[in-house]
């Protein structure tokens, strides 16, 4: 596993305590897992995602990521309706390891409460949380 300083955390994203990231794109939000999360999981071999049209509350389990080490649940950092899923992950789940913020995005939602986005952590707050977990 890498040191936190070796990982990437884009400034324009918001982060959840469960290590999901969110990026606002007009009136929708793209969601995936952070570089830290994919590094902790190891090589990802399978991603299970919900169906378009499914709705979830904030904190709801929307899928799973299976790595060579374990299966981990994915939690929605904000509530909403699934409007798109990254179908490429079905055949190439390693995108989550190789490019967690671009090719490895997981779902896109239409948020039920757009204010929940602003309640997520910015990069400095997320880094502070990660550094607290190390000690």
What pLDDT is attached to residue 131? 93
Is the whole model's pTM more than 0.85, yes or no? yes
Q: Would the pLDDT of 133 be above 90?
A: no
What one-character-per-residue DSSP string does 81-97 give?
Answer: EEEEE-THHHH-TTHHH
Tokens of 117: 């986005």
Query: What is the rounded distance in angstroms from the CA atom of residue 128 to the CA atom of residue 132?
Result: 6
Q: Would the pLDDT of 135 be above 90?
A: no
Paired strand residues for 31: 22, 107
What pLDDT is attached to residue 30? 98
Q: Give pLDDT tens digits for 21-69.
A: 999 999 999 999 999 999 999 999 999 999 999 999 999 999 999 999 8
Query: What is the rounded distance in angstroms from the CA atom of residue 112 to the CA atom of residue 82?
Result: 11
What one-character-per-residue DSSP string does 59-73 give?
Answer: T-EEEEEEESS-EEE
What pLDDT is attached to residue 83? 98
Q: Give pLDDT tens digits for 82-106.
A: 999 999 999 999 999 999 999 999 9
């Amino acid at each position: 596993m890498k040191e936190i300083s070796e990982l990437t955390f884009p400034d324009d994203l918001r982060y959840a305590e469960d290590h999901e990231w969110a990026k606002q794109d007009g009136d929708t939000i793209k969601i995936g897992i952070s570089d830290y999360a994919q590094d902790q999981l190891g090589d990802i071999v399978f991603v299970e995602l919900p169906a378009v049209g499914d709705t979830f509350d904030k904190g709801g389990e929307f899928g799973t990521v299976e790595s060579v080490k374990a299966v981990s649940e994915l939690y929605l950092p904000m509530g909403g309706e699934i409007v798109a899923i990254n179908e490429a992950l079905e055949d190439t789940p390693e995108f989550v390891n190789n490019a967690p913020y671009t090719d490895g995005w997981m779902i896109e939602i239409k948020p039920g409460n757009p204010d929940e986005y602003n309640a997520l952590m910015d990069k400095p707050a997320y880094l502070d949380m990660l550094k607290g977990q190390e000690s």
